[in-house]
Amino acid sequence: MSDLLSGGAEAAAGLAVHGARAIDEQSPASVRRALVADGVPGLLARKDPTLWGPEAEPAAAAHLGWLDTFHRSRELLPQLAELCAELGDLDHVVLCGMGGSSLAPAAMAATLGRPLTVLDTTDPGQIRAALGDRLDTTVVVVSSKSGSTIETDAQRRAYHRAFLDLGRTPEEAGRHFVVVTDPGSPLVETGLEMGAFVIVADPTVGGRFGALTAFGLVPAALAGVDVAELLDQAEEFAASLGGEDGNPALALGAAIGAAATAGYSAVALVPDGSGLDGLGDWAEQLLAESLGKDGLGLLPVVVDSPDEPGATGLGVLTVAYGGSLGAGAVPGGGIGAQLAVNGPLGAQFLAWEFATALAARVLGVDPFSQPDVASTKAHTTRLLEALPAEQPAFTDRALQVFPGRAIQVVPGGTIQDGGLADVLRTVLDAGDYLAVMAYLDRHDDAEIARLRSILADKSGKPVTFGWGPRLLHTAGQFHKGGPPSGAFLQLTGVVSDDLAIPGRPYTFGRLQAAQAAGDRAALDGRPLLRLHLTDRTAGINQLVTAAQAL
Ligand SMILES: O=P(O)(O)OC[C@H]1O[C@](O)(CO)[C@@H](O)[C@@H]1O
């Protein structure tokens, strides 16, 4: 019998977690038993804000609404039906939103096969391409809980100008926008001034826990997802949350907490091939921002398919996820997973949220804060004013090499004039994991994402890949707040056709460059290497070839 099957199963409302017991047994003392002995599942289900200590209590008291937001979200359904009818002629749905304001609806649309264009970038080429795509039939959902996220604001400005340039009057342009934000955020007023449809979200739910609030449901419904079904799935599952047995979310949370205490350093999120596309990206933010702080947490590694390198490894908790298992189906889809989480998407959201909150309790961290995200934002704001010119240490054809301060002090790893392979080897050797952070166009430069699996294969270490600046709202918190064991490979690229941001003194290209530089400043002191692609296509080829030759 596989470990997964021998690890036991726990199921409720069509969602099953396999293998959790075996992970719990690896911990010095059973995490699950301790959670149950302290009555934590019941307390959490009843929204007890004291579970993460006195410092976390005020934020927790304000942010536990996700436990039953599926009830309140039903009030949105008539409004959503009206909106879909009213905007029926606008069938190209673009979602501008970062992190918790886009990852859940992206997962819903991908899983349920509905088209949704998610724009969570500042890359000028990618934005320009989006602006040129079916504009006359586009509805733009501008989603931001705070209403002040710089990327989302810039995208809103660019789209508004594009509609005016198309010949729409300001009033007609407003009809192309749906704003989702918290009550009282500056975006409420901006949206109303623009003549947009403004939908205020449940303020008792924090960003990354907001899958089943307006942030998840509005764009998904516009894209054609049956969101009422997701709420039904969550509601049915919620009945299991407070229990001591038959509680898959408890099993998952205890297993993640046990893994962290048993010496695991990473959690690989692996689709088992049965659907639920995009859930890994969503769970990455949930785990990274909720647990990756105070030097603790597990590195989430998003893997695209079960056979990719990095899905398993030493110190890696491999979690397979997928839709509900049919009769006789093998959990984990046949990969070497230690945990398998199978069930409908609405239940998955709630299960992972509950499990993450439990794991935070085990680690002793506040699940509702993201204390290290602010540092990059502050550096970016400063650097937008004046971006210092930097000199490469050396240039290798289409790649300029900029080693950070810490990379040169790695024993035996000093970079001198030399080949790209040496450079890659140096940065790979410099940490227990490598984060590849690409401030590039995720469509035109998509090939670069192959680096993750190539470098994972060559090094045997956990390697993550993120598109900047999106990653600043997902794994970025872990990079800066988690264990200081990472090495960082930042990729930036030449901008051949920059794009203005209406009403701002900087362009998208400058914003993108300032965000990359801001994150370098926030990561200063950690091993970081930047490669700048002076020709994007040639640079990507060069890099992929060098990585393959390692
Ligand atoms: O919804 P907002 O306020 O635009 O924030 C977007 C994202 O930025 C963060 O606040 C920080 O990364 C995330 O937690 C959040 O999901």
Q: How would residue 469 be classed by pLDDT, with cut points 50, 70 and 90?
A: very high
Q: Do 345 and 399 fall within a single domain?
A: no
Domain C-terminal end among 335, 363, 391: 363
Q: What is the pLDDT of residues 489-548, one digit of tens each?
A: 999 999 999 999 999 999 999 999 999 999 999 999 999 999 999 999 999 999 999 999
Rounded to the nearest angstrom, the distance between the alpha carbon of 328 and the centre of ligand 1 is: 41
Token digits of residue 189: 């007023």
Token digits of residue 167: 């010949």
Range of the domain at 504: 373-548
What span, in angstroms and rounded, lies between the C-alpha atoms of 40 and 32?
Answer: 10
The ligand 1 atom nearest the CA atom of 100: 16
DSSP 8-class letter at 38: T
Q: Do 281 and 396 fall within a single domain?
A: no
The protein residue whose alpha carbon is closest to atom 14 in ligand 1 is 207
Q: What is the pLDDT of residues 156-182, one digit of tens each?
A: 999 999 999 999 999 999 999 999 999
Confirm whether 50 is domain-assigned: no
Q: Do 18 and 82 fall within a single domain?
A: no
Q: Do 293 and 188 fall within a single domain?
A: no
| Per-residue pLDDT, 3 | 61
The ligand 1 atom nearest the CA atom of 146: 3
The protein residue whose alpha carbon is closest to atom 8 in ligand 1 is 473
| Per-residue pLDDT, 415 | 57
Scored b (16 or more CB within 10 A) or e, 144-172 reads bbebebbbbbbbbbbbbbbbeeeebeeee
Give the residue from 168, 182, 28, 194 showing the smallest Cα distance to 97.
182
What span, in angstroms and rounded, lies between the C-alpha atoms of 307 and 193?
Answer: 50
Query: What's the whole-number average pLDDT of the chain?
Result: 94
CATH number at residue 327: 3.40.50.10490
The protein residue whose alpha carbon is closest to atom 7 in ligand 1 is 99
Domain C-terminal end among 309, 331, 363: 363
Residue 19: pLDDT over 80: yes
What span, in angstroms and rounded, lies between the C-alpha atoms of 117 and 92?
Answer: 8
What span, in angstroms and rounded, lies between the C-alpha atoms of 93 and 95?
Answer: 7
- Cβ < 6 Å from ligand 1: which residues? 98-101, 144-146, 149, 152, 207-208, 289, 370, 373, 473
Determine contact, residues 212/228, Cβ cutoff 8 Å: no
Q: Do 222 and 278 fall within a single domain?
A: no
Residue 23: pLDDT over 90: yes
Strand, helix or coil for residue 322:
strand
Number of domains into which the chain is organized: 3
Question: In the chain, how long is the greatest CA-to-CA distance?
Answer: 67
Calculate mean pLDDT across residues 31-60.
98
What span, in angstroms and rounded, lies between the C-alpha atoms of 347 and 350?
Answer: 5
Confirm whether 197 is domain-assigned: yes
Q: What is the pLDDT of residues 398-457, one digit of tens each?
A: 999 998 877 764 444 455 555 788 889 989 999 999 999 999 999 999 999 999 999 999
Q: Do 349 and 380 fall within a single domain?
A: no
Scored b (16 or more CB within 10 A) or e, 216-238 reads bbbbbbbbbbebbebbbbbbbbb
Rounded to the nearest angstrom, the distance between the alpha carbon of 345 and the centre of ligand 1 is: 22
Is this prediction's ipTM beyond 0.90? yes
| Per-residue pLDDT, 416 | 56
Q: Do 142 and 216 fall within a single domain?
A: yes
Q: Cite the beta strand spans of 202-328 per DSSP E.
A: 266-271, 299-302, 316-322
The contacts of residue 98 (CB under 8 Å, 6+ apart) are 120, 144, 149, 151, 152, 469, 470, 472, 473
β-pair type (92-96, 138-144): parallel
Confirm whether 54 is domain-assigned: no
The residue written with tokens 């999120």 in the block is 269
Q: What is the pLDDT of residues 220-263, one digit of tens each?
A: 999 999 999 999 999 999 999 999 999 999 999 999 999 999 99
Q: Cite the beta strand spans of 230-304 per DSSP E.
A: 266-271, 299-302
Residue 2: pLDDT over 60: no
